[in-house]
């Protein structure tokens, strides 16, 4: 899977969403999250993010390695909706993201 890391927080450019062929990039309040089971590893999202927030799971920078589980655990309660269009933008975040101070101020 691919992983969205810290640069997305409080930025949410959403260019990645337009590229994903399986609509597996879900929007939270402060960040977006890639569904690890729905992502087909096409890689289309990675180059379009203007802040380089997206990484293949093996390439996530060490400082952001916790984001691999942050993306996955975001779906603990949601399960596998089968497309972000089915949930729309969600008004909450993974607790790790919710606890971050404001980014990019
Ligand atoms: Fe975030 Fe980059 Fe997508 S800022 S919403 S990961 S294009
Ligand atoms: Fe979609 Fe990116 Fe995965 S475009 S299928 S989230 S690699």
Q: Digits of tens for pLDDT over the chain (105 positions)?
A: 999 999 999 999 999 999 999 999 999 999 999 999 999 999 999 999 999 999 999 999 999 999 999 999 999 999 999 999 999 999 999 999 999 999 976
The CB of 34 under 6 Å from ligand 1? The reply is no
Give the pLDDT score at 17.
98
Q: Six-digit token pair at 100?
A: 């971050």
The protein residue with its alpha carbon nearest to ligand 2, atom 3, reads: 39
Atom of ligand 1 at shortest range from CA of 27: 5
The CB of 19 under 6 Å from ligand 1? The reply is no
- CA 67/CA 88 separation, integer angstroms: 22
Q: Is the pTM of this model over 0.90?
A: yes
Q: What are phi and psi of 17, to 5 degrees?
A: -60, -40
């Amino acid at each position: 899977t691919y992983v969205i890391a810290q640069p997305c927080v409080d930025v949410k450019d959403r260019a990645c969403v337009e590229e994903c062929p399986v609509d597996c990039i879900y929007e939270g309040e402060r960040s977006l999250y890639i569904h690890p089971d729905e992502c087909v590893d096409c890689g289309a999202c990675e180059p379009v993010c203007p802040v380089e927030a997206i990484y293949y799971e093996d390439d996530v920078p060490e400082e952001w390695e916790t984001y691999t589980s942050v993306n996955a655990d975001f779906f603990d309660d949601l399960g596998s909706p089968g497309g972000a269009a089915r949930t729309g933008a969600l008004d909450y975040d993974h607790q790790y993201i919710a606890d971050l101070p404001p980014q990019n101020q």
